[in-house]
Amino acid sequence: MFAQDSAVSGDEQFNGRWDIRTTGGRSRAWWLEIENAGTPTPQGKFISAFSGDLNVIEDISISGHTLRFGWTRQERPSPGAEPVSRKLVYTAKLVNGRLQGVFEVEGSNQPLLEWIGVRAPVIKEMDDGTWREGKPIELFNGENMTGWVSWDGQEPVGWSVKDGALASTGRGQDIVSQQKFWNFKLHVEFSLAQHSNSGVALRNRYEVQILDDYGRPPNAHSAGALYSRIAPSENASKPAGEWETYDIRLVGCQVTVAFNGKKVIEKGVIDGLTAMAHDSDEGEPGGIALQGDHGPVEFRKITITPLVH
């Protein structure tokens, strides 16, 4: 299935961070980091739709210039059936400097899913005080969904404009702005229902978590977190149903988040994609994405200000 890259001198070539996209009609973005390849104890971390988290790889090996990793999970073959163990297996080789891989669920009739990985770019820009503000842009006009599409480029499903707010029923697709941006300031005003969960994905890659967790201790999955990667210094959320604000600044891979006026992340370094990512090309501008499938949420203001030199 794979053609081996003749330029590969050893398994250590698998080391590093990889931006991954699945191929096919509904492409998704994944992220992989491999360490200690070329030794008896390779290690890795992976982000995909699996658990929606930054997962330390349970089972990993490199043999014959082939990377193989995965997890075992319990799932029900059909509603009401007893759970059975299924192994999620990711396999890849290096082909012309890229990872060429397949994903399969062993013991199921699920078809193989092909994927391609490229080395994540090294982004050197820093939030060093030299960036100036451009002209603010209103991404939501308060009247309709002009400028927004679903994550796969189609008409949004499960979203509407209600009383001047962009609202998801809680069963909507993720939506993304048609305009794309690189470095910017972003002001967002939102309100969510009890037990709801949403998010704002910067460049359609890096999710700042929105969550009904008022009063709980902060962690890497809390409201205000860079999801699964950077925990906020405090939980500054309000009770569900109240209007809240994010003021986010992104320069290169440095992110600052002010949550309801309190700075909870200051120049945090983003190591890579989060599970909400739909665009894996980290070296290019991306849209602003809103999560709509984890409970009702409303956005009444989404203002972005490009930062330029």
Q: What would the pLDDT profile of 57-75 be if each residue is shown by its tens digit?
A: 999 999 989 999 999 988 7
Walk me through the domains of the chain, giving residue ranges and CATH numbers.
Answer: 11-119 (2.40.128.20), 132-308 (2.60.120.560)
Q: Render 199-257 in DSSP notation, one character per residue.
A: EEEETTTEEEEEE--TTSPP-TTSTTSBTTTB--SS-----TTS-EEEEEEEETTEEEE
pLDDT score at 41? 96
Which residues in the chain come in under a pLDDT of 50? Answer: 1-8
Confirm if 192 and 212 have CB atoms less than 8 A apart. yes
- Residue burial 255-284, b: 16+ Cβ < 10 Å; e: rest: bbbbbbeeebbeebebbbbbbbbbbbbbee
HSE of 161, CA atoms in CB hemisphere, 13 A? 11
Maximum Cα–Cα distance across the chain: 61
pLDDT score at 81? 86
Which residues partner with 63 through β-bridges? 66
Q: How far apart are CA 292 and CA 298, in angstroms?
A: 9
Q: How far apart are CA 264 and CA 279, in angstroms?
A: 26
Whether the model clears a pTM of 0.75, i.e. scores above it, the answer is yes
pLDDT score at 51? 64
Confirm if 191 and 10 have CB atoms less than 8 A apart. no
Where residue 244 falls (left for φ over 0; alpha for ψ -120 to 50; beta otherwise) is: beta
